């Protein structure tokens, strides 16, 4: 028989104001194996913990129940306290009599007192059958995989590499930069986006600790926190990276031209090309779906002109195996697909473009070299309409959430437009203006005053082409009047959605996404950069829409979290996991199929099921599904649960 101690906290009046703690302590003290039962005003305080420590020493306790607040508050505190006296911390359990008793039954003191006593009795049942456990130590691989080479992935990679950790950075496009490479200038400082990005991307390219794989994707992931095994697929670029000097002669000579997605349909691209001018790395790839050599073998132009003999039509996809300890998912965003934006005319009317298209237009390296002109006829637009919340904040038809960046992006667009076309008139349709970060509101107010922007509060109902102009029908909800603007050009601030393929990637990593496809964090406030799968971390717009400032902050936070994780020799994991009674296991294999973590496997020689202790997360799915009760959870066995049920029902 164990010698148990029960310590009941008053929590000031939080518990003792409702529960008669003295009488509970007295009653519990009469239980046969309870060697010590005490109450105190604040058990978590130093004198409170001292009472526990002294009782363990004095009475030789080998099990402790602290009846207090939720285990999420002070389970660790008390486990440390008992550990200091040589008791195994897993022999200490919390009876939650505050959040789940005194606070929710404040008017029913008698009933709450009875309930508190039962909760303690049930917790005693658990402690009676608890085993002493040791945390599971797992060796840790100190390298990190970063998926996505936008500003989030770049920042996280640099932070980690500067911290001394080796980084494998994957980017599926041929160059770094993500959407930031498409931007002209950033709000609120109006700095050129590209120069800042170029600096960071170049640092990544030459950092000795960063292994950069562009035009590459993650094909397979196995393992668990501290020990992930990866297979990376490097797509064939058809250009020998070692030989290519990035001179660009092949690009000049390539005869194939097609519409560039990077330029949002406004520029052209060659079949052999870099992702964008001065890209990092600045080496071209052959887009095989466009190249005449790959279509019908009719053209070898690039091969002929390359002075370095770097063209390699025979190159094949390469598969690389790597091991890492943690993964950053920085997969970024797309804009809401234009095909689905019926009423805005986007995709049908050439002078209706989206925000990224306008960014390309404003970029000195873009299709118009920074000049604002109508895509249809090249004229300077004198009347411009900007529409905010396109496909955002529209739960009935599009996305219910706010895309967060559009208010500021639009103000920036209108400001730059007025700078370039001083006699032009911008109209901005908006729902609300959200400018809640450092310097944003000031930027906005100053822009509105100086540039005399016309903000119209209301949604647009229709955009259509009429007589060479784009007519925008909407309502100004502040005056209640219908508004019709005959514009030369329309820019849509389109909703941010997660980038293509995130769902598949998340499934490979066993991370989760929400109903819109954004990656979910372990806790929105307390664990915002961790995914719910240990060792998988989040950064950037893949988690939720955010601007560059927030993305960089989050990426750095992610990098710090990972550095903390990797700073130890061994990873200590909670030992509250599944185990198998080998005498009983019949080898049916149900647990193997049901385990979401591949932590269960059949032993081919003995015909029974095993548990990979490092993979098991302790969810208990296998336990509930085992037909003959051969598997159990450490310190959470069926007999413990059933005895707790007994306490509560009998």
Question: Residue 104: which residues within 8 A CB-CB, separation 6 or more?
Answer: none
Note the residue count of the chain.
650
In angstroms, the Cα distances linking 359 to 180, 374, 410, 489 are 10, 14, 11, 14
Q: Which of 514, 582, 593, 603 binds other proteins (CB under 8 A)?
A: 514
Residues 530-589 that bind other proteins (CB under 8 A): 532, 576
CB of 368 closer than 8 Å to CB of 378:
no
Vertex 329, ends 154 and 167: CA angle to 5°?
Answer: 50
Q: Which of 49, 96, 388, 556 binds other proteins (CB under 8 A)?
A: 96
Encoding tokens for residue 369? 């070299």
Q: Which of 39, 62, 117, 118 binds other proteins (CB under 8 A)?
A: 118
Tokens 């906005």 sit at which residue?
A: 444
CB of 612 closer than 8 Å to CB of 602:
no
96 vs 494 by CB, closer to other proteins? 96
Q: Which of 100, 253, 368, 560 binds other proteins (CB under 8 A)?
A: 100
Q: Are strands 578-580 and 631-633 parallel, antiparallel or unpaired?
A: antiparallel
Q: Is 124 in the site for other proteins (CB under 8 A)?
A: no
CB of 576 closer than 8 Å to CB of 634:
yes
Residues 494-513 that bind other proteins (CB under 8 A): 510, 512
Q: Which of 486, 572, 584, 642 binds other proteins (CB under 8 A)?
A: 642
Q: Which of 122, 362, 405, 463 binds other proteins (CB under 8 A)?
A: 122
Q: Which of 29, 58, 596, 607 binds other proteins (CB under 8 A)?
A: 596
114 vs 290 by CB, closer to other proteins? 114
Instruction: Find the part of the chain contacting other proteins (CB under 8 A) among 155-163, 269-277, 478-486, 616-624.
Output: 616-624
Q: Is 517 in the site for other proteins (CB under 8 A)?
A: no
425 vs 640 by CB, closer to other proteins? 640
249 vs 507 by CB, closer to other proteins? 507
In whole angstroms, how close is the CB of 509 to other proteins at the nearest point?
11
Encoding tokens for residue 326? 């943690």
Helix, strand, or coil (residue 313): coil
Q: Is 620 in the site for other proteins (CB under 8 A)?
A: yes
Q: Is 593 in the site for other proteins (CB under 8 A)?
A: no
CB of 174 closer than 8 Å to CB of 215:
yes
98 vs 213 by CB, closer to other proteins? 98
d(CA 218, CA 501): 11
Task: Give the number of other CB atoms < 10 A from CB of residue 288.
Answer: 15
In whole angstroms, how close is the CB of 49 to other proteins at the nearest point?
22
Task: Give the number of other CB atoms < 10 A from CB of residue 398.
Answer: 18
The size of the interface with other proteins (CB under 8 A), counted in residues, is: 51
d(CA 398, CA 384): 24
Q: Which of 106, 261, 477, 567 binds other proteins (CB under 8 A)?
A: 106
CB of 66 closer than 8 Å to CB of 42:
no
Query: If you write DSSP's letter for every residue of 517-535 in order, what string do you get?
Result: SPBPEEETTTEEEEESSTT
d(CA 292, CA 630): 63
Question: Residue 490: which residues within 8 A CB-CB, separation 6 or more?
Answer: 344, 345, 349, 351, 352, 353, 384, 385, 386, 387, 463, 470, 472
d(CA 464, CA 358): 19
In whole angstroms, how close is the CB of 91 to other proteins at the nearest point?
17
Q: Is 450 in the site for other proteins (CB under 8 A)?
A: no
d(CA 496, CA 22): 58
Q: Is 627 in the site for other proteins (CB under 8 A)?
A: no
Question: Residue 508: which residues within 8 A CB-CB, separation 6 or more?
Answer: 218, 220, 221
| CA-CA-CA-CA dihedral for 124, 129, 135, 136, to nearest 10 | -150
Q: Is 115 in the site for other proteins (CB under 8 A)?
A: yes
Q: Is 649 in the site for other proteins (CB under 8 A)?
A: yes
d(CA 410, CA 387): 8
What letter would DSSP give residue 142?
A: -
Q: Are strands 185-186 and 318-324 parallel, antiparallel or unpaired?
A: unpaired
Instruction: Find the part of the chain contacting other proteins (CB under 8 A) among 168-176, 535-543, 563-571, 614-622.
Output: 614-622
Q: Which of 184, 238, 617, 635 binds other proteins (CB under 8 A)?
A: 617
Q: Which of 170, 492, 541, 644 binds other proteins (CB under 8 A)?
A: 644
82 vs 101 by CB, closer to other proteins? 101
409 vs 623 by CB, closer to other proteins? 623
Encoding tokens for residue 137? 């130590």
In whole angstroms, how close is the CB of 607 to other proteins at the nearest point?
24
Q: Which of 202, 315, 365, 520 binds other proteins (CB under 8 A)?
A: 520
Q: Is 618 in the site for other proteins (CB under 8 A)?
A: yes
Residues 179-218 that bind other proteins (CB under 8 A): none
d(CA 321, CA 319): 7
Residues 54-93 that bind other proteins (CB under 8 A): 70-72
CB of 360 closer than 8 Å to CB of 422:
no
In whole angstroms, how close is the CB of 131 to other proteins at the nearest point?
17
Q: Is 315 in the site for other proteins (CB under 8 A)?
A: no
Strands ordered across the beta sheet of 92-96: 34-40, 4-9, 63-68, 92-96
In whole angstroms, how close is the CB of 633 to other proteins at the nearest point?
7
452 vs 503 by CB, closer to other proteins? 503
d(CA 176, CA 182): 11
Q: Which of 3, 20, 44, 99 binds other proteins (CB under 8 A)?
A: 99
Tokens 């806790």 sit at which residue?
A: 523
Q: Is 400 in the site for other proteins (CB under 8 A)?
A: no
Instruction: Find the part of the chain contacting other proteins (CB under 8 A) among 104-112, 150-158, 184-192, 543-551.
Output: 104-112
With both helix axes pointing from N to C terminus, report the angle between 638-649 and 109-128 in degrees, rounded to the nearest 10.
150
Q: Which of 378, 515, 583, 605 binds other proteins (CB under 8 A)?
A: 515
491 vs 513 by CB, closer to other proteins? 513
Instruction: Find the part of the chain contacting other proteins (CB under 8 A) among 117-125, 184-192, 310-318, 466-474.
Output: 117-125
Task: Give the number of other CB atoms < 10 A from CB of residue 593.
Answer: 10
Q: Is 645 in the site for other proteins (CB under 8 A)?
A: yes
461 vs 628 by CB, closer to other proteins? 628
408 vs 623 by CB, closer to other proteins? 623
In whole angstroms, how close is the CB of 11 to other proteins at the nearest point?
11
Q: Give contact residues for other proteins (rule: CB under 8 A).
A: 70-72, 96, 98-101, 103-108, 111-112, 114-115, 118-119, 122, 510, 512, 514-515, 520, 523, 532, 576, 594, 596-597, 617-621, 623-625, 633, 636, 638, 641-642, 644-646, 648-650
């Amino acid at each position: 028989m164990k010698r148990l101690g029960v310590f009941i906290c008053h929590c000031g009046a939080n518990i003792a104001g409702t529960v008669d703690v003295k009488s509970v302590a007295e009653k519990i003290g009469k239980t046969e194996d309870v060697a010590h039962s005490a109450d105190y005003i604040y058990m978590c305080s130093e004198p409170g913990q001292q009472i526990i420590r002294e009782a363990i020493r004095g009475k030789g306790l080998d099990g402790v129940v602290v009846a207090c607040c939720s285990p999420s508050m002070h389970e660790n505190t008390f486990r440390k306290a008992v550990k200091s006296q040589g008791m195994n911390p897993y022999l200490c359990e919390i009876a939650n009599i505050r959040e789940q008793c005194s606070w929710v039954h404040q008017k029913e003191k008698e009933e709450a007192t009875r309930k508190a006593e039962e909760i303690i009795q049930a917790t005693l049942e658990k402690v009676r059958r608890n085993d002493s456990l040791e945390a599971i130590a797992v060796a840790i691989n100190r390298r990190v995989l970063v998926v996505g080479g936008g500003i989030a992935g770049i920042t996280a990679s640099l932070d980690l590499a500067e911290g001394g950790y080796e980084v494998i950075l994957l980017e599926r496009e041929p160059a770094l930069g993500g959407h930031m490479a498409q931007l002209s200038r950033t709000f609120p400082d109006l700095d050129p986006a590209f120069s800042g990005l170029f600096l960071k991307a170049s640092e990544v390219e030459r950092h000795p600790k960063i292994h950069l794989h562009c035009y590459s994707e993650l094909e397979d992931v196995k393992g668990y926190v501290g020990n992930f095994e990866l297979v990376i697929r490097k797509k064939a670029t058809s250009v020998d990276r070692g030989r290519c000097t990035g001179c660009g002669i092949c690009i000049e000579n390539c005869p194939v031209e097609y519409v560039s997605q990077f330029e949002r349909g406004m520029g052209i691209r060659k079949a052999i090309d870099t992702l964008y001018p001065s890209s990092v790395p600045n080496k071209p790839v052959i887009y095989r779906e466009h190249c005449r050599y790959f279509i019908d073998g009719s053209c070898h132009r690039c091969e002929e002109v390359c002075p370095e003999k770097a063209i390699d039509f025979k190159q094949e996809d390469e598969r690389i195996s790597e091991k890492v300890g943690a993964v950053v998912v920085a997969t970024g965003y797309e804009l809401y697909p234009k095909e689905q934006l019926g009423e805005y005319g986007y995709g049908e009317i050439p002078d209706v473009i989206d925000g990224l298209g306008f960014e390309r237009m404003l970029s000195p390296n873009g299709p118009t070299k920074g000049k604002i002109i109508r895509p249809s006829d090249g004229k300077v637009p004198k009347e411009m309409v900007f529409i905010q919340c396109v496909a955002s904040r529209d739960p009935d038809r599009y996305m219910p959430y706010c895309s967060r960046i559009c208010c500021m992006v639009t103000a920036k667009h209108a400001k730059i437009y007025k700078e370039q076309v001083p006699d032009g008139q911008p109209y901005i349709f908006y729902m609300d203006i959200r400018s809640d970060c450092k310097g944003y509101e000031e930027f906005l107010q100053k822009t509105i005053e100086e540039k005399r922007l016309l903000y119209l509060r209301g949604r647009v109902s229709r955009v259509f082409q009429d007589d060479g102009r784009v007519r925008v029908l909407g309502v100004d909800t502040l005056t209640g009047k219908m508004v019709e603007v005959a514009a030369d050009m329309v820019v849509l601030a389109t909703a941010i959605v997660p980038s293509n393929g995130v769902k598949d990637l998340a499934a490979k990593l066993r991370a989760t996404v929400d109903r819109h496809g954004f990656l979910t964090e372990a806790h929105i406030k307390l664990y915002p950069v961790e995914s719910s799968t240990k060792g998988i971390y989040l950064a950037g717009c893949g988690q939720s829409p955010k601007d560059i400032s927030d993305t960089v902050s989050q990426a750095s936070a992610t990098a710090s979290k990972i550095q903390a994780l990797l700073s130890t020799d061994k990873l200590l994991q909670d030992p509250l996991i599944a185990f198998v009674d080998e005498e009983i296991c019949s080898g049916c294999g149900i647990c193997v199929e049901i385990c979401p973590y591949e932590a269960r496997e059949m032993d081919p020689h003995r015909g029974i099921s095993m548990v990979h202790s490092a993979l098991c997360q302790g969810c208990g799915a296998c336990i509930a599904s085992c037909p003959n009760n051969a598997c159990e959870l450490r310190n959470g066995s069926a007999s413990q649960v059933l005895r707790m049920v007994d306490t509560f029902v009998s």
